[in-house]
Structure 1
């Protein structure tokens, strides 16, 4: 039986790949085998749907080579700092503030969404758009998670502090900050801590597959902040032999 599937056309499926800084080196690719058990839906690939049942690995993914199997998996570079913001005491009104690296936010509503927390942090003079990713919420019932990215990707960060003085209602409302993942050096030791290159094009695979082929870009110029998994090139301390990637 023929197996024809409609193909979704996107920037990543054409030559117009936003992470690729120039056409130099686009032919310097090696055919590789990808270990699909190491990739995560939503982060590394788009899950299939009724019209396109196959999953699609995103082009531009940074890759490392698993020493034991010689297959490729997501690059496990330096770990990004992750901190959580939790409100206790069930406040019914008011605001709280976050302080990081000497800068304090404007008042954040007691029932703020992740977007509102991000907006408050982005307004600080030492945080630029893209320096923090915020998820979870809304307060006060759900935890808000702050992941340091952009210029602070892969670096150990001071823990934020908070003031709950302006929260009202409830029973002794408070704001607790916890570091759930400390930023710093890679914790991987399977070979993926070494950058091997980037997935040059989208790669489709069927649900349930454990491996698929792909094209590895090992020479060229890359916009690091436009890759599907943004990373700070200054944190890339080691690369596989032969890899020659320039970042912009």
Structure 2
């Protein structure tokens, strides 16, 4: 008689996203609509990962992935091919120090972060250098996910070239995810424990949802921008 040895491997789900144990004793049971999740993102190993942000689907009362809000992106373009001088940017009543005509993204970022109403983690700048390439300024952190005020600019300090100036445009409007209107645009909580993907493909899968506690945003398995964090203010604390 030949015996076959079967080996099974068990692991511990990563809960580094959980900032504290506060609140986990009150995790409500929720039903996941598995048709709204993406395998490669949410259950690549055959189970829904703990820490997935959830939103409640209004029509069914079931839960799907939270449709995170959109961070606003504004463009800054130095026009007229100046050969010297400086320009400034103004946001919400605050004006930057002079920025060189041929600035890099790092220099524009430093100028914006020096404003009293923009924190170190509230904007990101890519693109450039000027005047040949535009800059993309993304509002994130506490300014993420909102329809922020448009920047204005002054090119009065630019010299040379042909009528040098600075133009501002909105590349991506910030605010609620325009593709979500089913209820998942509001953050409800986080899947607390991993849930196996059902072999039958049944959409009625029950899991525990953390809706009261502390969350380390940077360690979540699926990123959640700062915008949605205010949806559960007072119940979930992010840091």
Name the TM-score, length of structure 1 as normaliser: 0.64
Could you say what secondary structure the match of 1:96 adopts? strand
Gaps of 5+ in 1: 1-12, 46-52, 204-212, 239-243
Larger radius of gyration: 2
- More helix by percentage: 2
Deviates more, 1:165-174 or 1:20-29: 20-29
Deviations 1:186-208 (A, max 9, x none): 532133213232255799xxxxx
User: Are positions 1:123 and 2:114 aligned together?
Assistant: yes
Provide the rounded CA distance (Å) in 2 between the counterparts of 1:186 and 1:153.
12
Q: How many Å apart are 1:233 and its aligned residue?
A: 5.8
Name the CA shift for 1:155/1:163 in 2 (closer, same or farther; >3 Å): same
Provide the rounded CA distance (Å) in 1 between the counterparts of 2:215 and 2:232.
17
Provide the rounded CA distance (Å) in 2 between the counterparts of 1:199 and 1:112.
44
User: Are positions 1:91 and 2:82 aligned together?
Assistant: yes
Q: How does 1:1-248 map to 2 (within 5 A)?
A: 14-17=14-17, 20-26=18-24, 28=27, 32=32, 33=34, 35=36, 60-65=51-56, 72-77=64-69, 79-187=70-178, 188-200=180-192, 217-223=209-215, 226=218, 228-232=223-227, 235-236=230-231, 245-248=235-238
Name the CA shift for 1:198/1:101 in 2 (closer, same or farther; >3 Å): same
Residues 233 and 247, structure 1, Cα contact 8 Å, conserved in 2: no
User: Aligned-pair RMSD on alpha carbons?
Assistant: 4.2
Residues 88 and 140, structure 1, Cα contact 8 Å, conserved in 2: yes
Provide the rounded CA distance (Å) in 1 between the counterparts of 2:83 and 2:173.
32
Name the counterpart of 1:241. Answer: none
Name the counterpart of 1:49. Answer: none
Q: May I ask how many residue pairs the two structures share in their alignment? A: 213
Deviations 1:62-100 (A, max 9, x none): 3335568967334234x4332111121122333211011
Provide the rounded CA distance (Å) in 2 between the counterparts of 1:91 and 1:61.
49
Residues 20 and 215, structure 2, Cα contact 8 Å, conserved in 1: no
Name the counterpart of 1:207. Answer: none
Q: How many Å apart are 1:23 and its aligned residue?
A: 1.9
Provide the rounded CA distance (Å) in 2 between the counterparts of 1:236 and 1:88.
40
Deviations 1:91-122 (A, max 9, x none): 23332110112211112222323222111100
